[in-house]
Chain A
Amino acid sequence: MGIAKNDIVLEIKNLNFYYGELQALININLEIKRNTITSIIGPSGCGKSTMLRCINRMNELIDDTRTEGEIFYDGRNIFDSDVDPVKLRRKIGMVFQQPNPFPKNIFDNVAYGPKMYGTRNRQKLREIVEISLKKAALWDEVKDRLLDKSLSLSGGQQQRLCIARTLAVEPDIILMDEPASSLDPIATMRIEQLLREVTDDYTIIIVTNNMQQASRISEYTAFINAKERRSGFLVEYGRTQDLFIKPQMKQTEDYISGRFG
């Protein structure tokens, strides 16, 4: 694929995933480059969300599921028995499609993670909250109302609050599952802008149904297609520009040109 070994932050190897009888992912192999944005595109039901949930072992919380294969992060297979999934999820955070702030005030939403991981010092917490909100491009809008309820914010602001909450625990990788699909164009643009700005510090893997969004923000794109509309396999993975200008596979060309269905 042309990514130097030491630039790879995450290596997915022969990943198969099952919900009971249903095989949702078929032999996925993917190397994610550090400090970049990688988009995952594909028809709905192809397993994009499932794949994200494998990466931080959230699928284990679902009954009757089975995972095969390996995901190497930091040189270790995350499925090894001595890897603590809670610690893993601190390093590999997740932002969901629907903004899901806690029913608390703005400050507490962001301070929640650091507190849980043991930061007690008020001054230190205040710093973390400010830095995280700044990175999430929300600070200027909320700095005078940090004790307001998070639900008083607009949808776009709530989503940026969730991003701030994720950033506050200093993750390495951020998984995003259609983070802008419920937002208006301006809120979407703000999120895209902030994603571009944080890639110095984080690696972002983003599932998006909006192909223009994938082509705008990501350096790499993976296209997953679905067998029988429910079992996902990787069709093509490469630089986003190459994929959108000169895809190698006809399936990719048909999908991104809207010639599917």
Chain B
Amino acid sequence: MKPREQYMESLRQLKNEIMKMGILVEEALSKAMKALTELDSDLAESVITEDMMINRMEIEIEDRSIALIATEQPVAGDLRHVITGMRIVTQLERMGDHAVHIAKSTLRFECKAFKKPLIDISKMAELCISMHREVLSAFMDEDEIRARNLVDLDDEVDSLHEKVQRDMFTGMVEDESFLSQALQLTYISRYLERFADHITNISEWIIYGKTGNHVDLNG
């Protein structure tokens, strides 16, 4: 038998659980965006109820990590990866919350259609989802280079967010009936921008896990 086989297996399982949680978060955002663009309140409701699952996973993964630290006393790379995992699930949980916020905003729309198609917001969501997939596979492969490269996409999300804010503001000034719609869309843009920030936070933790160095990618 290889030394510490059980322990290595626990580390692998922990990583798999984090991946599963990550996939749930991706589904939550995809659904929330579909519910928004199609103004589908049933789908929006389901995003809100399914978030409980994400919250539960955060606690479960944290408990397992703590138990692993207490019983196996990981050190060096193993320790950094367990800590990284705990930080990542905190980020994922908040990202799930942003999907919920988008779903709740959707429920607040009283209109039957948008004044203009949601081009920039959809683009932001697409970027968020591909960033999210990339960060999860960087986590899986412990690839700090790919994690680091995500800042470029985050910059794109940031500038789209600024553009949406400007457009909505001009829209509100031009047409007062657009006010409440524009406000909700501004919030949604803000949630997406935050979602992407959490992804770069995850990137920072992946880099820490691999190298032991703290970096600031949002600075």
Contact = CB atoms under 8 A, between A and B. Distances in A.
Interface of A: 211-212, 215, 244-247, 252-253, 256-261
Contact of B212 (A215, A246, A256, A261): A246
B117 interface: no
Interface residues of B, number: 12
Contacts of A247: 76
Given A245-B212, A246-B212, A261 B3 contact: yes
Nearest to A253: B76
A212 B3 contact: no
B171 interface: no
A256 B73 CA distance: 10
A253 B79 CA distance: 11
Contact of A246 (B7, B73, B76, B78): B76
B4 A258 contact: yes
B71 to A, nearest CB: 12
A247 B211 CA distance: 10
Interface string B63-77: 000000000011111
Nearest to A256: B75
A256 B72 CA distance: 12
B77 A253 contact: yes
Contacts of B146: none
B73 A259 contact: no
Given A212-B73, A260-B3, 19 more contacts: A211-B75, A244-B75, A244-B79, A245-B75, A245-B76, A245-B212, A246-B76, A247-B76, A253-B76, A253-B77, A256-B75, A256-B76, A257-B4, A257-B77, A257-B78, A258-B4, A258-B7, A259-B4, A261-B3
Given A245-B79, A245-B80, A257 B74 contact: yes
Contacts of B7: 258
Contacts of B79: 244-245
A221 B91 CA distance: 35
Most interface-central of A211, A212, A246 (chain B CB within 10 A): A246
Interface in B86-128: none
A215 B73 CA distance: 11
Contacts of B76: 244-247, 252-253, 256-257
A245 B79 CA distance: 7
A257 B3 CA distance: 10
Nearest to A244: B75
A240 to B, nearest CB: 11
5 contacts: A245-B79, A256-B75, A258-B7, A259-B3, A260-B3
A41 to B, nearest CB: 11
Nearest to B8: A259
Contacts of A215: 75
A215 B80 CA distance: 16
B79 to A, nearest CB: 7
Contacts of A211: 75
A187 B4 CA distance: 28
A236 to B, nearest CB: 11
Contacts of A212: 73
B212 A258 contact: no
Contacts of B212: 245-246
B123 to A, nearest CB: 40
B57 to A, nearest CB: 27
Question: Which residue of A212, A245, A260 has the most chain B CB atoms within 10 A of its CB atom?
Answer: A245
A177 B78 CA distance: 29
Nearest to B78: A257
Interface in B1-27: 3-4, 7
A259 B78 CA distance: 11
B193 to A, nearest CB: 33
